[in-house]
Amino acid sequence: MDSIVALAKRRGFIFQSSEIYGGFNGFFDYGPLGSELKKNIRDCWWADMVRRRDDIVGLESSIIMHPKVWEASGHVAGFTDPLVDCKVSKQRYRADQLFFSPVVVTGADGVAQTIGYVSALESEKTAADLQAAAETMKRKKAVQGTLAPVVVKDFTEAREDEYALIPSPATGEPGSLTAPRSFNMMFQTNVGAMTDASSVAYLRPETAQGMFVDFKNVVDTGRVKLPFGIAQIGKSFRNEITPRNFIFRSREFEQMEMEYFIHEDADWAKCHQDWIEWCKNWLLSIGLPESHLSLYAHPKEKLAFYSKGTVDIMFQYPFGVQELWGIAARGNYDLGQHAQASGKPQELFDEATKKKFVPHVIEPAVGVDRILLAVLCAGYAEEDVKDEKGNVEKRTVLRLSPRIAPVKVAVLPLLKNKEALTDRAKALYKKLQRRYAVFYDEAGAIGRRYRRQDEIGTPWCVTIDFDTIEKDGTFTLRERDTMTQKRITEADLFALLDEQVY
């Protein structure tokens, strides 16, 4: 992972956001090559998902939507964790995982007295830990009497006057824990000049709600018929408590989501399965190796009440097997929620049964940044190769699919100071540039120039030499992965690109 992060920085793929100010945790910038790579991933997805299908249309909804959208979707109430801070240690706890009990001792006179509080973090033996801590407290304080059994409560159940009495698990001392507060992962902002409660709005934490809220608009204007999908690519924002693993979990990221609407009586399980297959095949088409992909079906008991099933396509990152693409069967929950909250029915009319119904949905949702990290991780290799003189040297190579590689072809004149060569090379470069991202490089030995291209994942280099200008016009095509070379014509080169870059 360290080598990949270093390469990403060194060659201008990914930078820390606001680096000159020390960086900003959870935010990243994509440099010249990174932004090309990211754009190619988006463009391939859009071409395959929207343009090349007859049943899917595109959408670009606003990032800030009416706050009621997020109430209806459940994000205002449910996209939260209850958090407690320890002011001394700066540790942060989930309030529902922090347990406590008053320590009550009844004296010989029959009077019960609370002598303090004990706390413990959630474990399989929370009650036993609290009981043991209560016994220790009674002994230390040398209080006579009978210790009552502990009453296990979590911090969300604590009374206000108890907050300061409950010891912090970090320090063992009371007085440093704050009141629990709901930590909503949505970023809040204010719209308009007022900054009061009435102007609160949110940066979207997912793009999906745009498709639900515009469902009727698309149906009424888009000449769509069930089953059909609405797809969107765009930024999403989540105030993740622990952003980590480079761009894998960040606070600002980009999603590619599609809502595929089906009849309420349709075979949703088959449709779900078809989309899992489609998504997996798409990942293979942009060069991810099958060996790194696996499927994870969420257990039934962990699903939201409305969910019929969720399967994640997992990718084997250097830091472990992690979710790349979630494919969820969401029933008609989202459209139903918006119909109820807005008072605007979100139904279609079934000509066959003469009945209205709310369509169900299958939702494949993936992060562009997670795909980009996956292709970097899968494509990165360091290998021993022989140079022109037969000496073994290391080469770093990024095996990116031609579909997504930031530079498709590097055009290299064999020598820098021979005008006939550079003129011909520049002419080819200009011609290629009309359709493809290409690179012109005349600096340094040819072997070094090849290595520079290997490192950024350029699939092909073409070298213009004396044969090109003096003989048949062909040039040398050098292939990144095999490092083989062959002579080809300009027409062959364009045919190759046409076939491989789509």
Binding site for ligand ATP (CB under 6 A): 206, 238, 240, 249-250, 253, 255, 323-326, 365-367, 369-370
Q: For residues 384 and 299, is the Cβ–Cβ distance under 8 A?
A: no
- Nearer to ligand ATP by Cβ, of 11 and 204: the residue is 204
Write the Ramachandran bin of 393: left for phi over 0, alpha for psi from -120 to 50, otherwise beta: beta
Q: For residues 361 and 258, is the Cβ–Cβ distance under 8 A?
A: no
- Joined tokens for residue 435: 């359709």
- Nearer to ligand ATP by Cβ, of 311 and 461: the residue is 311
Q: Virtual CA dihedral for 20, 24, 25, 31, nearest 10 degrees? A: -70
- Nearer to ligand ATP by Cβ, of 219 and 230: the residue is 230
- Nearer to ligand ATP by Cβ, of 94 and 370: the residue is 370
Tell whether omega for the bond before 227 is within 30 degrees of 0, i.e. cis.
yes
CB of 239 to ligand ATP, least distance (A): 10
User: 397: which residues sit within 8 A by CB, 6+ positions away?
Assistant: 379, 380, 381, 382, 383, 454, 455, 457, 480, 481
CB of 476 to ligand ATP, least distance (A): 41
CB of 284 to ligand ATP, least distance (A): 17
CA distance to 4, 67, 181, 239, 298, per residue, from 198 (Å) = 46, 10, 20, 22, 38
Q: How far apart are CA 44 and CA 48, in angstroms?
A: 6
- Nearer to ligand ATP by Cβ, of 18 and 217: the residue is 18
CB of 362 to ligand ATP, least distance (A): 13
- Nearer to ligand ATP by Cβ, of 243 and 402: the residue is 243
Q: For residues 16 and 29, is the Cβ–Cβ distance under 8 A?
A: yes
Q: How far apart are CA 179 and CA 449, in angstroms?
A: 61
CB of 235 to ligand ATP, least distance (A): 11
Q: For residues 362 and 262, is the Cβ–Cβ distance under 8 A?
A: yes
- Nearer to ligand ATP by Cβ, of 339 and 366: the residue is 366
The residue number whose beta carbon is nearest to ligand ATP equals: 367
Task: Quote helix, strand, coil % in the chain, to nearest 5.
Answer: 35, 30, 35
CB of 49 to ligand ATP, least distance (A): 15
Q: How far apart are CA 98 and CA 153, in angstroms?
A: 9
- Nearer to ligand ATP by Cβ, of 369 and 465: the residue is 369
Q: Virtual CA dihedral for 483, 486, 490, 495, nearest 10 degrees? A: -70
User: 60: which residues sit within 8 A by CB, 6+ positions away?
Assistant: 232, 233, 234
CB of 313 to ligand ATP, least distance (A): 8
CB of 369 to ligand ATP, least distance (A): 5
Q: For residues 230 and 82, is the Cβ–Cβ distance under 8 A?
A: no
CB of 355 to ligand ATP, least distance (A): 32
- Nearer to ligand ATP by Cβ, of 258 and 262: the residue is 258
